[in-house]
C-alpha cells in the first residue's frame, strides 16, 4: 500500500489520541464517511492500524500499531490494543471536544502530556490559545468531593496553567465542580452540549 500524506497525518493523529472512531476521523480531516472507512480498513489490512469493537451498539475504535506509529513519525509509543470499558465514553468525548477546541488554538493530548509529566495529575488535554495555557477536564459523572478537592488543590499549587476549563455533562456535575472551585476565578465551567451540539447530551444536561 502506498501511503499518502493524508494517511500519515491520520496515523499520527490517531496515535496522539490513543483511539478514535471512523466518524471522528472523518470530522477531523473533513472527508466523507465512506472514503474514511475504506481508507481505515486498508490501513488495518496493512497492519498500520488495529480495529476493536467494544460494544455491539456503539462505534468501534481504531488504534495505531507499532508499525503505524513509527511510519507516521510520532514520538509516542504505540498503545496497547485494549480499551478500558469504564473510560470508553469519556475518552471519545475528549476526542470530540479536542476537534472542536482545535478551532481556537493548539491541542496537546493527554498522551503527549503524560510523556513529559512527573505527576499523575494530568488534565484530559491542554489548549494553547491566545498565549494562554488552558488545562481541559471532561467530567461525565459526579466525582466525590474528596477527589474534586484533591484536583483543585493541585491546580491551586500549579503554575503551569493560566486557566482550567471544565466541560460537564449535567447540572449535578456542574454544581459539584463549581463548589469545589469556589474562589478560583480561573476555573471556567461549560456544558459539553454547548460545544459538541449533541442534542441528546443537551437534553441530559438540562434535567
- Residues 71 and 101 placed together within one structural domain of the fold: no
Is residue 204 in some structural domain? no
- Residues 68 and 114 placed together within one structural domain of the fold: no
d(Cα 52, Cα 82) in Å, to the nearest integer?
8
Answer whether 74's CB lies under 8 Å from 14's CB: no
As a whole number, mean pLDDT of residues 100-107 equals 96
Is residue 191 in some structural domain? yes
User: Quick one: what percent of the chain has pLDDT higher than 90?
Assistant: 80
Is residue 145 in some structural domain? yes
Is residue 45 in some structural domain? yes
- Residues 66 and 121 placed together within one structural domain of the fold: no
**Number of independent structural domains in the chain:** 2
CATH code where residue 47 lies? 1.10.10.10
- Residues 68 and 97 placed together within one structural domain of the fold: no
- Residues 33 and 60 placed together within one structural domain of the fold: yes
Q: What is the pTM of this model?
A: 0.91
- Residues 120 and 163 placed together within one structural domain of the fold: yes
- Residues 156 and 105 placed together within one structural domain of the fold: yes
CATH code where residue 114 lies? 3.40.1350
- Residues 14 and 77 placed together within one structural domain of the fold: yes
Is residue 207 in some structural domain? no
pLDDT tens, residue by residue, 112-167:
999 877 778 899 999 999 999 999 999 999 999 999 999 999 999 999 999 999 99
Q: In angstroms, how far apart are the furthest CA atoms of the chain? A: 56
Among candidate residues 41, 58, 83, the one where a domain is terminated: 83
d(Cα 63, Cα 46) in Å, to the nearest integer?
13
d(Cα 71, Cα 146) in Å, to the nearest integer?
43
Instruction: Give the per-residue pLDDT at 92.
Output: 96
Q: Residue 193: which domain range? A: 92-199
As a whole number, mean pLDDT of residues 29-58 equals 94
In 46-191, which residue ranges form alpha helices assigned H by DSSP?
66-72, 88-101, 110-116, 145-157, 171-180
d(Cα 187, Cα 79) in Å, to the nearest integer?
31
10 Å CB burial of residue 115 (0-12, 13-18, 19+) is exposed
As a whole number, mean pLDDT of residues 16-30 equals 97
The secondary structure of residue 141, as a DSSP letter, is: S
Answer whether 80's CB lies under 8 Å from 97's CB: no
Termini Cα distance of the chain: 50
pLDDT tens, residue by residue, 65-88:
999 999 999 999 999 888 999 899
Cell of 179: 463548589
- Residues 143 and 62 placed together within one structural domain of the fold: no
Is residue 205 in some structural domain? no
- Residues 99 and 69 placed together within one structural domain of the fold: no
Amino acid at each position: 500500500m502506498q501511503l499518502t500524506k493524508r494517511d500519515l497525518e491520520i496515523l499520527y493523529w490517531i496515535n496522539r489520541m490513543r483511539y478514535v472512531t471512523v466518524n471522528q476521523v472523518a470530522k477531523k480531516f473533513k472527508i466523507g464517511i465512506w472514503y474514511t472507512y475504506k481508507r481505515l480498513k486498508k490501513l488495518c489490512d496493512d497492519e498500520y492500524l488495529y480495529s476493536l469493537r467494544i460494544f455491539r451498539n456503539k462505534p468501534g475504535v481504531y488504534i495505531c500499531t507499532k508499525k503505524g506509529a513509527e511510519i507516521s513519525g510520532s514520538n509516542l509509543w504505540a498503545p496497547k490494543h485494549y480499551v478500558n470499558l469504564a473510560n470508553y465514553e469519556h475518552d471519545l468525548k475528549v476526542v470530540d471536544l479536542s476537534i472542536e477546541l482545535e478551532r481556537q488554538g493548539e491541542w496537546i493530548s493527554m498522551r503527549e502530556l503524560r510523556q513529559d509529566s512527573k505527576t499523575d495529575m494530568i488534565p484530559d488535554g491542554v489548549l494553547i490559545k491566545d498565549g494562554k495555557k488552558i488545562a481541559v477536564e471532561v467530567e461525565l459523572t459526579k466525582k466525590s468531593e474528596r477527589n474534586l478537592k484533591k484536583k483543585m488543590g493541585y491546580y491551586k499549587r500549579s503554575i503551569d496553567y493560566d486557566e482550567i476549563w471544565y466541560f460537564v455533562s449535567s447540572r449535578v456535575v456542574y454544581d459539584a465542580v463549581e463548589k469545589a472551585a469556589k474562589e478560583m476565578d480561573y476555573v471556567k465551567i461549560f456544558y459539553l452540549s454547548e460545544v459538541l451540539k449533541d442534542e441528546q447530551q443537551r437534553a441530559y444536561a438540562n434535567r
